[in-house]
Amino acid sequence: MSHRLIWRKLVFGGFGRRGLEAVIAAGVLVFATAIVAGSLMVVQGARDAIARAARDDRPDVVQVKSRFNRAVFETPRSGNLPPLTLPVYEPLIDRDKVAAAEATILARQSFLRNVVSGDSFLNIYIFGIDPEKEPQVSTFWVSRGRFLRGDDGALAVVDQATARALGVDLGGTFPVRKADGQDLTLRVVGILDRLEFRYPPPRTVDAPALRPGSSAVTSGVFVTLHTSEEIFGRPTLTDALVVAGTPEAVPAVVERLREAFRLEPGVFVSESYSRFRRKVHDFTLTLALFTAVGAATAVLAGSFGANLLHDVYADRRRQYAILLALGFRPMQSALIGIAFGLTMVGAAAVLGSVMAMVFAPKHFAMPSLMAELGTIEPKFDALVVAVLGGMGMAILALGMAPTALQLARCSIAATLSEERG
């Protein structure tokens, strides 16, 4: 008889009348693993949906803006008029007051450049931003050239629609009328093919747009705050974004900002955290439900499986004692029991996981609760594997612990003299 065959018989042989219990234990573990894996897959899918919503909504961002500048509406649209550069919002925001939020400040100056000549006119939006902080909340896809740097001077990055309207390309220049009546020549150092500008101003006048049907501004010229202050002639802001450390810190940030601007009726502080909490509330409840289902299943079915596994190990105590009496080292006898248990819980984990993935729906939805976030996709990832592995190891440890303690505390003779129950 070969060495491998002997070890196979030692590991899996000698069940006696407990063989049926071993089969039942394996079945229970497969069923429990499938339920736990399915619940965890739904939980992970819900977490991903909440994370996507957080990336899209950015509940940690607070907007501070002044009232809209009426002069933008009242600017003449025809005639021989000098170019104008108007703030989109009235410049009422003091940087020092925004700093009271005790969070990350993304200062902005938003302008409308208006050029009228005869019966034609051209409007473009100009945004003074901090090029190192603004990408925290907005996304810019640079197709050619580069994005702005903090030490840039009279340089600009424009999107494709604005570049076509201005008739400029990479390296080209165009003038912008400053507050003192002089022109500042901006040179284009980057062309954007897409941009996602967080909290853009409303599109109230005809201007180039990457998404023409949008009610918000989707294109423009981006310059550094230093350059926009040179254009505007003053450091006050038209709007700003405040990024809290965590979404939960937003109410405190909003309270500090409203206190700082309590004497400025033209400054408005708005946040999306409250709406986001209502939006994900049902998802959070569903996540808690499936977490509870998985935990209850793991505890109940796991304890039942561990008890059956204990009976199987208890029936094999004489076998382990005989091996010790024949000269097997304690570690070798322990490895035989561990190998049997690992095989059982490992096979149960694999079969249960396969069942969960096969029978789990591709999309999971409860329309009455989750309409705002849509469907979720159950996800089998490393966390599910880790939880299932931990559950299997816990069941194995609980099942074999009494037998291991019996062999360690009692003599071999006492164990061999036990009657098999």
What's the pLDDT score for residue 7? 45
Confidence of residue 163 (pLDDT cuts 50, 70, 90): very high
Q: Which two tokens stand for residue 105?
A: 């400040």
Longest dimension (CA), the chain: 113
Q: Are 181 and 200 within one domain?
A: yes
Our measurement of the distance from residue 10's CA atom to the centroid of its chain's CA atoms, rounded to an integer in Å, reads 50
Contact criterion met (CB below 8 Å) for 402 and 314: yes
Q: Are 68 and 47 within one domain?
A: no
Residue 300 domain flag: yes
What's the pLDDT score for residue 204? 82
Per-residue model confidence as pLDDT tens digits over 346-355: 888 888 888 8
Confidence of residue 1 (pLDDT cuts 50, 70, 90): very low
Q: Are 68 and 164 within one domain?
A: yes
Flag whether pLDDT at 203 surpasses 90.
no
Confidence of residue 5 (pLDDT cuts 50, 70, 90): very low
Q: Are 223 and 251 within one domain?
A: yes
Per-residue model confidence as pLDDT tens digits over 141-158: 999 999 999 999 999 999
Q: Are 65 and 51 within one domain?
A: no
The whole-angstrom separation of Cα 113 and Cα 123 is: 6
Residue 421 domain flag: no
Contact criterion met (CB below 8 Å) for 114 and 84: yes
Q: Are 168 and 264 within one domain?
A: yes
Domain count, the chain: 2
Residue 228 domain flag: yes
Q: Are 362 and 392 within one domain?
A: yes
Q: Are 38 and 68 within one domain?
A: no
The whole-angstrom separation of Cα 83 and Cα 138 is: 29
Per-residue model confidence as pLDDT tens digits over 366-381: 544 444 666 777 888 8
What is the rounded radius of gyration, in angstroms, for the C-alpha atoms of the chain?
34
Lowest mean pLDDT of 77-91, 94-108, 324-338, name the range. Answer: 324-338
Instruction: Find, among 292, 290, 312, the residue nearest to 29 by Cα.
Output: 312
Count of other CB atoms within 10 angstroms of residue 132: 12
Q: What is the mean pLDDT of the chain?
A: 80
- Tell which of 271, 292, 325 closes a domain: 271
Q: Are 246 and 330 within one domain?
A: no
Give the start-end residues of each E strand in 178-306.
183-196, 221-224, 239-243, 267-271
Q: Are 264 and 348 within one domain?
A: no
Contact criterion met (CB below 8 Å) for 64 and 267: yes
Instruction: Find, among 118, 132, 220, the residue nearest to 176 by Cα.
Output: 220
- Tell which of 271, 295, 329 closes a domain: 271
Residue 7 domain flag: yes
Residue 164 domain flag: yes
Residues 6+ apart with CB under 8 A from 420: 16, 315, 318
Whole-angstrom CA distances from 397 to 306, 328, 404 are: 8, 22, 10
Residue 296 domain flag: yes
Per-residue model confidence as pLDDT tens digits over 214-249: 889 999 999 999 999 999 888 999 999 999 999 999
- Tell which of 216, 250, 271 closes a domain: 271
What's the pLDDT score for residue 147? 95
Confidence of residue 405 (pLDDT cuts 50, 70, 90): low
Count of other CB atoms within 10 angstroms of residue 272: 18
The whole-angstrom separation of Cα 75 and Cα 60 is: 36
Per-residue pLDDT, averaged over 266-273, amounts to 92
Confidence of residue 185 (pLDDT cuts 50, 70, 90): very high
Q: Are 261 and 361 within one domain?
A: no
Most confident among 20-29, 48-57, 60-69, 326-335 (mean pLDDT) = 60-69
Q: Which residues, in sequence order, are bridge partners of residue 118?
A: 79
| Whether the model pTM is above 0.85 | no
Q: Residue 100 is part of which domain span?
A: 60-271
Q: Are 41 and 83 within one domain?
A: no
Residues 6+ apart with CB under 8 A from 390: none
- Better pLDDT: 87 or 281: 87
